[in-house]
Amino acid sequence: MVVSNSDLASEAGVEIMKRGGNAVDAAVATGFALEVTYPAAGNIGGGGFMIIRMADGRAAALDYREIAPLAATRDMYVENGKLTDRSLVGALAVGVPGSVAGMAEALRKYGTMSLHDVMQPAIRLARDGFVVDSALNRSLTYSATRIKQFAGGKVFYPNGAPPAVGSVFRQPDLARTLTLIADQGPAAFYTGPIADQIVAEMHHDGGIITKEDLARYRPIWRDALVGTYRGYTLYTMPPSSSGGITMLETLNQLETWPKLPDFNSAEYKHLLAETFQRAFIDRNTKLGDPAFVNVPTAELTSKAYARKLASTIDPAHATPVPAFATGPEPIHTTHYSVVDAHGNAVATTTTLNGGYGSKTFVDGAGFFLNNEMDDFAAQPGKPNQFGLVQGEADAVQPGKRPLSAMSPTVVLDPNGKLFMVVGAAGGPTIITGVAQVILNVIDQHMSLADAMYAPRMHDQAWPDAITFERGGFTTSAADSLQQMGHHLDPTGSLTDVNALMRDARGGWVGVYEPRATGEAAGY
């Protein structure tokens, strides 16, 4: 089964499994297909993280996060003491992409098929085209002004408008790029003709990524971060993502309550907010690329530390945190969960960061480049596009990976059997959203469908508020939370999760995000 934000990409993964591929082969096929059918999140111009848990017990975490170019400097986005928008839009916002190297490396180590073969569905979708749906049309309409400032304008708005719903959309430049990668491997992208096209785009748009930056990019195998929650085992992402540490730190605190209050109660929402808040304060001040920053992972994820944190929670009052301003922006990332018949599992989250990344488009090569540089603390102490206030640990440095919130996670049940594959898009709400789906299933005994549909909330310490989905709190819970001193900030929808879970009756249940698009494809 494959659950992703694109029906065609989920089906690409299933096609590969039907041809005998394993979950890793299918995940890579899905990843390349998403580049074609879900361009807002790409993502050969971006980066990501993959948690692999094989049926034989091997587990691994692959970090193919973008890195800062060698010419990057700490204050490159600050002018006269003010933060500019150059970490968000245009070529200076682009980190050296990691996805092509990452997906090829995952396949080399854990796959069974060739890169050439698993890329065929993506190449076919780019070359022969696919039928445009309302979601793609709407998304392109929304981002038109910015995309049209760059070379992608002529590809995505052929007559000034995005391809009509129901029309067939072909991407011949992208098909050529994918074919080069399929035939020559990642070298085509990092040292070959595609590298030349990326560097030419940099020269044209004022970016700083060089051939040397591309040639020296390497994905990194890391030990998956392993934690436990009420007897379940979680394999999740260590730094350069903050996702795993922040989620485990939250769950460890919650585990100190023998039984969590009911889902709709103010007590429960209060506990979530307080535990998230404590975990995010550590996240935003202590975490960064482990090659540059000494991250106290063992301490932050220990049960003893969680008990200490949890003991500071007042059951009747919100704990105030120093306040900072915030400013949201359209965003884009995507997660896919894959399991095969043997029980091999892959959780992958991949991103361009903003919707269509920096909007910078590699002319002639057919793809967008990320704006991952905004995940650095472009000005330490000042909020980024997600309102995240981060410190020196995440300051810009050449060759450094910007701190991520992506949290691909594989969960085993108390008997050690594969139970759930889950992850999300949505910046910092990834961490809180994934945690809530897990909590809904384990503590609130919901089905996966209910766990996914249930209203979500979010607290990231700064700003000092609980964001919640409008209508998601009962009136009495909202009143009580305000009495406790919480600031409540209603919003549209929170987090884009794609998850699959073992069905008690046998087989797997997949649920794609009901607030977004996608398909759970299986056979």
Q: What does the binding site for ligand DON look like in residue numbers (CB under 6 A)?
A: 331-333, 351, 353, 372, 375, 404-406, 425-427, 430
520 closest CA partner among 505, 503, 504: 503
Q: In a 3-state reduction of DSSP, which class is residue 6?
A: coil
Q: Please tell me which residue in 210, 250, 333, 495 is annotated as part of the active site.
A: 333
Q: Crossing angle of helices 172-184/23-37, nearest 10°?
A: 150
Minimum Å gap between C-beta 53 and ligand DON is 21
Minimum Å gap between C-beta 131 and ligand DON is 24
Minimum Å gap between C-beta 432 and ligand DON is 12
Residue 293 half-sphere exposure toward CB, CA atoms < 13 A: 25
Minimum Å gap between C-beta 374 and ligand DON is 8
Q: In a 3-state reduction of DSSP, which class is residue 469?
A: strand
CA distance 370 to 352: 4
Minimum Å gap between C-beta 353 and ligand DON is 4
**For residues 253 and 385, which CB has a smaller minimum distance to ligand DON in the complex?**
385
Cβ burial, residue 504 (10 Å; 0-12/13-18/19+) = exposed
CA distance 107 to 22: 10
Residue 490 makes CB contacts below 8 A (sequence gap 6+) with: 467, 468, 469, 470
**For residues 121 and 463, which CB has a smaller minimum distance to ligand DON in the complex?**
463
Residue 333 annotated to the active site = yes
Minimum Å gap between C-beta 428 and ligand DON is 7
**For residues 99 and 179, which CB has a smaller minimum distance to ligand DON in the complex?**
99
CA distance 487 to 489: 7
Q: Which ranges constitute the DSSP H helices of 364-474? A: 429-442, 448-453
Q: DSSP labels for 284-327?
A: HHH---TTTS---HHHHT-HHHHHHHHTT--TTSPPP-------
Q: In what order do the strands lie in the sheet with 466-469?
A: 457-458, 466-469, 488-491
Catalytic residues: 333
